[in-house]
Amino acid sequence: MPLFSFVIRRLLQMIPTVIFILIVTFVLVRMLPGDPASAMLGDRARDADVNRINHELGLDRPLIVQFFYFAERIATGDLGNSIGLKVSVLSLIMDRLPVTLMLTALSAVIALALAVPLAFVAAFKREKLADSVIRGTFQVGLSMPVFYVGIILLTVFAAQLKLFPVGGYGTTLPDKLYHLFLPALTLALSFSAVLMRNLRASIINVMNAEYVDFATAKGLKSRVILLRHILRNALISTVTLFGLQIGTLFGGAVITETVFAVPGAGRLLIDSIYGRDYPVLQGLTISLAILVSLTFLLTDIIQAWLDPRIAR
Amino acid sequence: MTASTAQTTMSDGTKGLVVRGLTTTFDTTRGLAIAAADVDFDVAPGEVVGLVGESGSGKSVTLRSIMRLIREPGKVSGRVEWGGRDLVAMPAEELRKVRGGEIAMIFQEPMTALNPVLPIGVQIEENLKAHTGLTGSQRRARALELMNIVGIPAAERRLDEYPHQFSGGMRQRAMIAIALACSPKLLLADEPTTALDVTIQDQILKLLLDLRDRLAMSVVLVTHDLGVVAATCDRMAVMYAGRIVETGTVAEVFARPHHPYTRGLLGSVPRSGHSRTMLQSIDGTPPSLTALPQGCAFHPRCSFATEICRTDRPPLDLIGAGRRVACHHHEEVAAAEPIL
């Protein structure tokens, strides 16, 4: 099974990536100006108090010593406790990250649902009215900043039409999806614009391939030609783009969660930066980084499945 | 395919392929390009007809027009009769059943004509699925049989392999297996050996002739290689600037070309057994399809050309049984010193 050994190989390649992420995260977090004690005690804190708290947290020890403590704890699955919230970072992440994951997944689904059919229409009606309308609309969506799109959608669909809640998060799954729909749509609009443009170009390219002529000459049904011969080949490059854009999508989730008051990892991340909550910041960054690498792995697997020439 | 079904194919009364006035144009930014004009030819059951000419002479366009594989902005007119029906005017679903089922096509470069992401077995089986009611296991069995027919060893394993895992010759065999899956009665072959080296080329041509005999199928072979025509075809049609300029049996055309272009083509073939001389070539280049010369399209390159050639286009006249030529001076050309 070439695909199986390919997956194993890619999983092993993830180990150095994760170690690298650990180091970078640790260093970057400590390069932020300020420290947790100053952030907690405010501007008028006395130096003695700041130093005492920093000593309690072990932040006055040499960086390299701190790193090995950090790495040792990570290795046992312990991300430490939040400095500000006094609870374990792991429980915080387990609480908030699924929300962000759901938001990202929902927006990816919406983006694909918009991009794939519209890319087909645009490609087949190339340079005609439908193509121009689709591309023009997406161009507008692409050029607007995420927070701005979010505010417009909020104003129109939540505040005015009252079709969706203004913010927050539900308790049951349908309720959660309902709450997440607008933020997910916000994220999906620019994402689907990127996907649609890429897929349209890719479909046009594949449509002119000789194997599509051969498939036509074989008398296959147009559905088979469309899905098996055109879409599958066209998706190969779009899947790559999809994977690369997932990181951006997580970044966009941070902003969107703020606009829609969604209690996800994005808001936790921003709070932890303001509070110089090193353990939370580290834990979240690492979790997000690993998630992004896992998405890359998944993209690679999908690609290898779509295109057997990759998994050699 | 057994001998008895081959017999019924031969005797079911079809006249084979009848092409009349087939014209294919492309509306380009530089004007209307006439890629094929008034093309007439017949292919009888079991016959191999060669369509010969330089690049851009319209031979591939003619083949694609028969299968209606011409894309926008291309336009096809004329008639392509197959079993009493006109392929040019046929509704899409009916045409789909003819394609791959009764008429199959193979291309020059199997690397680009085979779908790179599908196993060969799938590419054979989808053809069977589109045209027959065979079950999954029957399709698999037929795919195996086809791989054996076209001479691909280790067929069982190779069915699950992808085009990039095949060598050039094996890839062309695989494409033939795919095209012939539903035992078509006509095979349109667009330069099937051009991308192959000479020994493989020979094997593929032998395979095609062998399959023609086994399946009682007709073949239209597009090629620029006169050696291939001599080795495989019964009759030939020479194309120049989108038009057929000469037709006849291969023996007749080779022995006594009536068109100066055919004569030029034959003269440019290197021969053994003669003293070493410079190869002959036809002076000039083929005309642009958007700006064809007045009169006979070949006249600017023709040593026989006179005033009438510059003003009047010669019709494709019948000069003998199944022998046609479009030249004002064909008698003079035929009477000239033998070229081969």
Cβ contact, residue pair B107, A215, below 8 Å: no
Chain A residues with beta carbon closer than 8 angstroms to that of B115: 211, 214-215, 228-229, 233
Residue B1, pLDDT score: 37
Q: Is B281 within the bounds of a domain?
A: no
Q: Is B277 within the bounds of a domain?
A: no
Residue B153 lies in domain: 3-233
B69 inside 8 A of chain A by CB: yes
Three-class HEC string of chain B: CCHHHHHHHHHCCCCCEEEEEEEEEEEECCEEEEEEEEEEEEECCCCEEEEECCCCCCHHHHHHHHCCCCCCCEEEEEEEEECCEECCCCCHHHHHHHECCCEEEECCCHHHHCCCCCCHHHHHHHHHHHHCCCCHHHHHHHHHHHHHHCCCCCHHHHCCCCHHHCCHHHHHHHHHHHHCCCCCCEEEEECCCCCCCHHHHHHHHHHHHHHHHHHCCEEEEEECCHHHHHHHCCEEEEEECCEEEEEEEHHHHHHCCCCHHHHHHHHCCCCCCCCCCCCCCCCCCCCCCCCCCCCCCCHHHCCCCCHHHHHCCCCCEEEECCEEECCCCHHHHHHCCCCC
Residue B6, pLDDT score: 37
* Residue A15 identity (one-letter amino acid): I
B177 and B74 in a single domain? The answer is: yes
Q: Kindly identify which residue of chain A lies nearest to residue B130, measuring between CA atoms.
A: A220
Domain count, chain B: 2
Domain ranges of chain A: 89-306
Chain B residues with beta carbon closer than 8 angstroms to that of A308: 117, 119, 162, 164
Q: Is B25 within the bounds of a domain?
A: yes
DSSP structural state of residue A58: T
Chain B residues with beta carbon closer than 8 angstroms to that of A215: 115
How far apart (Å, rounded) are the C-alpha atoms in residues A78 and A98?
Answer: 19
Q: Å from B115 to nearest chain A CA?
A: 5
Low-confidence spans in chain B with pLDDT less than 50:
1-13
Q: Å from B6 to nearest chain A CA?
A: 21
Chain A residues with beta carbon closer than 8 angstroms to that of B130: 218-221, 224
Q: Is B190 within the bounds of a domain?
A: yes
Cβ contact, residue pair A211, B178, below 8 Å: no
Q: Å from A243 to nearest chain B CA?
A: 20
Measured between alpha carbons, how far is residue A150 from residues A103, A170, A245, A259 in Å?
14, 19, 19, 7
Picking from A77, A112, A56, A80, the residue whose alpha carbon sits closest to that of residue A290 is A77
Low-confidence spans in chain A with pLDDT less than 50:
none
Distance of alpha carbon A152 from its chain centroid, rounded?
A: 22
Angle at B206 between CA B205 and CA B207, to 5 degrees: 90
Q: Å from A295 to nearest chain B CA?
A: 23
Chain B residues with beta carbon closer than 8 angstroms to that of A220: 96, 100, 126-127, 130
Q: Kindly identify which residue of chain B lies nearest to residue A229, measuring between CA atoms.
A: B115
Q: Convert the pLDDT of each residue in A31-64 to its tens digit.
A: 877 777 777 777 777 888 888 887 877 778 888 8
Cβ contact, residue pair B162, A308, below 8 Å: yes
CATH at B61: 3.40.50.300
- Both tokens of residue A100? 């962000």
Closest partner residue to A210 among B112, B127, B179, by Cβ? B112
Residue B101, pLDDT score: 93
Cβ contact, residue pair A219, B114, below 8 Å: no
The CATH classification number of A89-306 equals 1.10.3720.10
Residue B7, pLDDT score: 37
Could you give the ipTM of this predicted complex? 0.88
Provide the residue count of chain B.
Answer: 340
Q: Please enumerate in sequence order all residues whose Cβ is within 8 A of that of B322, keeping only pairs 6 or more positions apart, or say none.
A: B235, B247, B248, B249
Cβ contact, residue pair B126, A220, below 8 Å: yes
Closest partner residue to A218 among B100, B109, B164, by Cβ? B100
Q: Is B226 within the bounds of a domain?
A: yes
B222 and B260 in a single domain? The answer is: no
Angle at A95 between CA A90 and CA A101, to 5 degrees: 105
Chain B interface mutation, best of A211, A227, A235, A239, highest count of B Cβ atoms under 10 Å? A211
B111 inside 8 A of chain A by CB: no
Chain A residues with beta carbon closer than 8 angstroms to that of B71: 208
* Residue B239 identity (one-letter amino acid): M
Q: Is B193 within the bounds of a domain?
A: yes
User: Under the phi-then-psi rule, with left for phi > 0, alpha for psi from -120 to 50, and beta for the rest, what region is B68?
Assistant: left
Cβ contact, residue pair B105, A211, below 8 Å: no
B25 and B152 in a single domain? The answer is: yes
**Phi, psi torsion values for B288, nearest 5 degrees:** -70, 140
Q: Å from B191 to nearest chain A CA?
A: 14
B 161-190 near A (Cβ less than 8 A): 162, 164, 175, 178-179
